[in-house]
Structure 1
Amino acid sequence: MKRALALALLALPQIAPAQGPTVADRIQRSIDLREQWQWLTRDIATPPTWDEDGRHFHYRKTVEGGYAFVDVARDGGDKRPAFDAGVVARALAALTGKPVDPLRLPFEAFDYADGRGAIVAQIDDDTVRCTLVQTVCTVVPPEHPSRPRGFGVVRDLRVPAENHPRPSPDGRLEALVLDDNLVVRVAGGGREAWRSQDGSPADFYDPETIAWAPDGRRVIAYRVRPGYARMVTRVVAAPPGKVQPEVVQQLYPKPGDAVDQERPVLFAVADGRRIAIADTLFPNPYYLSEATWRKDGKSVAFDYLRRGFGEARTIAVDADTGAAHVAVGEDPATFVFRDRIFGHDVGGLGREIVWASERDGWRHLYLVDATTGRIKRQITKGEWIVRDIAKVDDEKRQIWFSAGGYVPGEDPYYKQWFRVDFDGRNLVRLTKENATHELRFSPDMSRYVDVYSRTDLPETTELHDARDGRLIATLEKGDITRLTAAGFRPPERFTAKGRDGRTDIYGVVVRPRDFDPAKRYPVIENIYAGPHDSFVPKAFWPFGGFSGGDKVMGMQQLADLGFVVVQIDGMGTANRSKAFHDVAWKHMEDMGFPDRIAWMKALAAKDPAVDLSRVGIYGGSAGGQNTLNALLFHPDFYKAGIAYAGCFDNRMDKIDWNEQWLGWPVDQSYLNASGVVHAGKLQGKLMLVVGEQDSNVDPASTMQVVDALIRADKTFDLLVIPNGEHSAGRTTGPVPYAMRRHYDFFLRALRGEGVADWNAR
Structure 2
Amino acid sequence: MVHAVRRFGRWTATLLALAAASAASGSVAQAQLGPQSTQADEGRANKGNWTLANRFSTAALRAISYTQAVQPRFLGQTDSMYYNWKDRNGNRFMLFVPSPTGGTKRLLFDPAKLAEQLTMLSKKPYDATNLPFQTITFLKSHKAFRFTVDTVRYEWTLATETLKSNGRVVRNAPTPVDEEVNTQGGGGPGGGGARGEFRNYNKDSSAFVFARMHNLYIVEKSSNDTVQISTDGAMDYSFGYRDTTENARQLAALAGGGQQTDGEQDDTDDANNRDQRIRPNVSWSPDGKSFAFVRRDQRKVKELFLVNVLAQPRPVLIHYKYTMPGEEDVTRSELWTYRRGDKAVKQINVAKWKDQSLMNVHWPVNGDKVRVVRRDRPQRAVDFIEVDVATGAIKSLLADAIEGAALEPKNIAYLKQGGDFLWWSQKTGWGMYYVYGFDGGEKRPLTTGQWNANSIVKIDSTTQQVWVSGQGREAGEQLYQTHLYRVNGDGTGFTLLDAGNAHHATTLGENGTPSVVSPTKRYIYDSFSRMDMPFKSVLRDGATGRILSTLEEMDLTKLKELGFKNAETFSVKAADGVTELYGNMWKPFDFDSTKKYPIITYVYPGPQTEGMTTGFSVRGPLMQLAQLGFIVIEVGHRGGSPLRSLAYHRYGYGNMRDYALADKKYAIEQLGARHKFIDLDKVGIFGHSGGGFMTAAALLLPPYNEFFKVGWSESGNHDNNIYNQNWSEWNHGVKVIAKADSAAGAVRAGGTGAARRGGPAANAAAREVVQDSTNADKIKFDIRVPTNDELAGNLKGNLALATGDLDNNVHPGGTIRLANALIKANKRFDFFIYPGEPHGYRGTGPYNQRMLMEYFAEHLLGDYYRGNGEIK
* TM superposition score category, shorter chain reference: 0.7 to 0.9
Q: Secondary structure at the match of 2:720?
A: coil
Cα drift, residue 444 of structure 1? 1.9
1:525 aligns with 2:601: yes
Cα drift, residue 412 of structure 1? 0.9
Give the RMSD, CA atoms, in angstroms.
4.1
From the superposition, tell whether residues 228 and 662 of structure 1 become closer, same or farther in structure 2 (CA, over 3 Å): farther
From the superposition, tell whether residues 226 and 77 of structure 1 become closer, same or farther in structure 2 (CA, over 3 Å): same
Distance 2:658 2:600 in 1: 19
Counterpart amino acid of residue 446 in structure 1: R
- Give the conservation status (yes or no) of the 8 Å contact 1:254–1:653: yes
Instruction: State which of 624, 647, 669 in structure 2 corresponds to 1:601.
Output: 669
Equivalent residues in 2 for 1:282-321, closer than 5 Å: 282-289=352-359, 291-321=361-391
From the superposition, tell whether residues 461 and 217 of structure 1 become closer, same or farther in structure 2 (CA, over 3 Å): closer
Counterpart position of 2:455: 388
Counterpart amino acid of residue 334 in structure 2: R
Instruction: State which of 744, 749, 754 in structure 1 corresponds to 2:859.
Output: 749
Cα drift, residue 39 of structure 1? 4.8
Distance 2:734 2:124 in 1: 48
Distance 1:308 1:755 in 2: 49
Distance 1:103 1:715 in 2: 54
How does the TM-score come out when normalised to structure 2? 0.72
Distance 1:475 1:661 in 2: 42
From the superposition, tell whether residues 475 and 654 of structure 1 become closer, same or farther in structure 2 (CA, over 3 Å): same
Cα drift, residue 697 of structure 1? 1.8
More displaced 10-residue stretch of structure 1: 621-630 or 532-541 = 532-541
Cα drift, residue 183 of structure 1? 8.1
Counterpart position of 2:94: 70
Equivalent residues in 2 for 1:544-623, closer than 5 Å: 551=619, 553-574=620-641, 575-623=643-691
Counterpart position of 1:80: 107
Counterpart position of 2:761: none
Counterpart amino acid of residue 231 in structure 1: E
- Give the conservation status (yes or no) of the 8 Å contact 1:330–1:336: no
Q: Deviations over 1:387-419 (max 9, x none)?
A: 232102222111112221111121111112211
1:425 aligns with 2:492: yes
Counterpart amino acid of residue 729 in structure 2: E
Instruction: State which of 156, 164, 176 in structure 2 corresponds to 1:134.
Output: 164
Q: Deviations over 1:149-170 (max 9, x none)?
A: xxxxxxxxxxxxx997878889
Counterpart position of 2:749: 668
Counterpart position of 2:250: none
Instruction: State which of 322, 329, 341 in structure 1 corresponds to 2:410.
Output: 341
From the superposition, tell whether residues 185 and 693 of structure 1 become closer, same or farther in structure 2 (CA, over 3 Å): closer
From the superposition, tell whether residues 51 and 759 of structure 1 become closer, same or farther in structure 2 (CA, over 3 Å): same
Counterpart position of 1:153: none
From the superposition, tell whether residues 365 and 234 of structure 1 become closer, same or farther in structure 2 (CA, over 3 Å): same
Distance 2:153 2:483 in 1: 35
Counterpart position of 2:434: 366
From the superposition, tell whether residues 251 and 27 of structure 1 become closer, same or farther in structure 2 (CA, over 3 Å): farther
Cα drift, residue 540 of structure 1? 2.0
Q: Which one has a larger percent strand, Structure 1 or Structure 2?
A: 1
Distance 1:510 1:400 in 2: 36
- Give the conservation status (yes or no) of the 8 Å contact 1:39–1:62: no
Counterpart amino acid of residue 568 in structure 2: E
- Give the conservation status (yes or no) of the 8 Å contact 2:233–2:239: no
Q: Deviations over 1:186-238 (max 9, x none)?
A: 7757597x9789x5759967374655655577665556544434333222223
Counterpart amino acid of residue 138 in structure 1: V
Cα drift, residue 182 of structure 1? 7.7
Distance 2:125 2:636 in 1: 41
How does the TM-score come out when normalised to structure 1? 0.81
Counterpart amino acid of residue 719 in structure 2: D
Instruction: State which of 7, 26, 32 in structure 1 corresponds to 2:55.
Output: 32
Identity of aligned residues (%): 26
Equivalent residues in 2 for 1:667-746, closer than 5 Å: 667-668=748-749, 671-728=784-841, 733=845, 736-746=846-856
Counterpart amino acid of residue 578 in structure 2: R
- Give the conservation status (yes or no) of the 8 Å contact 2:693–2:717: yes
Q: Secondary structure at the match of 2:53?
A: helix
- Give the conservation status (yes or no) of the 8 Å contact 2:214–2:235: no
Q: Secondary structure at the match of 1:635?
A: helix
Counterpart position of 1:206: 239
Cα drift, residue 647 of structure 1? 1.6
Tell me the number of residue pairs that the alignment of Structure 1 and Structure 2 aligns: 702
Distance 1:202 1:235 in 2: 22
Looking at both structures, which has the greater relative contact order when contacts are Cα pairs under 8 Å and sequence separation is at least 6?
A: 2
Q: Deviations over 1:269-299 (max 9, x none)?
A: 667699995535x433543236422323342
From the superposition, tell whether residues 463 and 170 of structure 1 become closer, same or farther in structure 2 (CA, over 3 Å): closer
From the superposition, tell whether residues 20 and 231 of structure 1 become closer, same or farther in structure 2 (CA, over 3 Å): same
Distance 1:98 1:694 in 2: 40
Q: Secondary structure at the match of 2:50?
A: helix
- Give the conservation status (yes or no) of the 8 Å contact 2:48–2:863: no
Instruction: State which of 57, 61, 68 in structure 1 corresponds to 2:81.
Output: 57
Distance 1:581 1:341 in 2: 16
- Give the conservation status (yes or no) of the 8 Å contact 1:129–1:139: no
- Give the conservation status (yes or no) of the 8 Å contact 2:696–2:711: yes
- Give the conservation status (yes or no) of the 8 Å contact 2:87–2:555: no
- Give the conservation status (yes or no) of the 8 Å contact 2:654–2:749: no
More displaced 10-residue stretch of structure 1: 203-212 or 228-237 = 203-212
Structure 2 residue runs of 5 or longer lacking an equivalent are 1-40, 157-162, 176-195, 241-279, 506-514, 736-745, 751-782
Cα drift, residue 590 of structure 1? 2.9
Cα drift, residue 568 of structure 1? 0.5
Q: Deviations over 1:477-533 (max 9, x none)?
A: 334355334322211111111122111011111111222222221110011122112
Distance 1:752 1:695 in 2: 36
Distance 1:191 1:70 in 2: 45
- Give the conservation status (yes or no) of the 8 Å contact 1:436–1:538: yes
Instruction: State which of 471, 476, 491 in structure 2 corresponds to 1:404.
Output: 471
Q: Secondary structure at the match of 2:164?
A: coil
Counterpart position of 2:610: 534
Distance 1:319 1:596 in 2: 53
Q: Secondary structure at the match of 2:712?
A: strand
Counterpart amino acid of residue 264 in structure 1: L
